[in-house]
Amino acid sequence: MADTLLAQHAQALEYFGGLVHAVGPEQWDGPTPCTEWTVRDLVNHVVGEQLWVPPLVTEGLTVAEVGGALDGDLLGDDPADAWDRGAAGAVAAFGAPGALERTVKLSYGDAKAAAYCSELAADTVVHAWDLARGIGADDRIPAELVEFALKEIAPYADGLAASGAYAEPLEIPAGADAQTRLLAMVGRKG
């Protein structure tokens, strides 16, 4: 099970990373489906999520101990390189022996690192769709990532909007495919 989760996490990051590398120089200030975020803001957010993994998983720090160290612009002059470094650090941290069994101290409480990994992978899948839309790329999410994200998000989808992390869920159209169902759960119309 751990190998499968690590593979899904790596695949989600690879998918998002491919889109990051496809962003044209003129697209960084463009809008995304996340209405408050430009393409750069969106990528900065997902890079930040990856940069949190080593201190929380490897070092055992709390959110308070990390503090504001990962606030602000994390992309610098080379957003694709910032992504590559952040993703590599997250993959290494989760992939270390025994890492997925550790307890991490998240903003909402203690969780198993495996649950944290799964949550981040699903979030990355959804934000990859946002990024694809923002840059006008193909927004069809690989089917195995859609299924993975659906299984991860479905149990807590109703509470996502209340957390402020996502928009209100949309009504799922009759006969909707898996990607449409996933996007509707997180307040996006595919």
Confidence category of residue 190, pLDDT binned at 50, 70, 90? confident
Whether 23 contacts 40, CB under 8 Å: no
- pLDDT of res. 161: 73
Residue 39: its H or E element: helix 39-53
CA-to-CA dists, residue 144 to 19, 94, 108, 140, angstroms: 17, 20, 28, 11
- The whole-chain average pLDDT of the chain stands at 94
Q: Which pTM does this prediction carry?
A: 0.94
Contacts of 19 (CB under 8 A, 6+ apart): 128, 131, 132, 135, 137
Cα(3)–Cα(75) distance, rounded to whole angstroms? 30
| 120-137 tens-digit pLDDT | 999 999 999 999 999 999
Start-to-end CA distance of the chain, whole Å, equals 30
Whether 30 contacts 133, CB under 8 Å: no
| 26-71 tens-digit pLDDT | 999 999 998 899 999 999 999 999 999 999 999 999 999 999 999 9
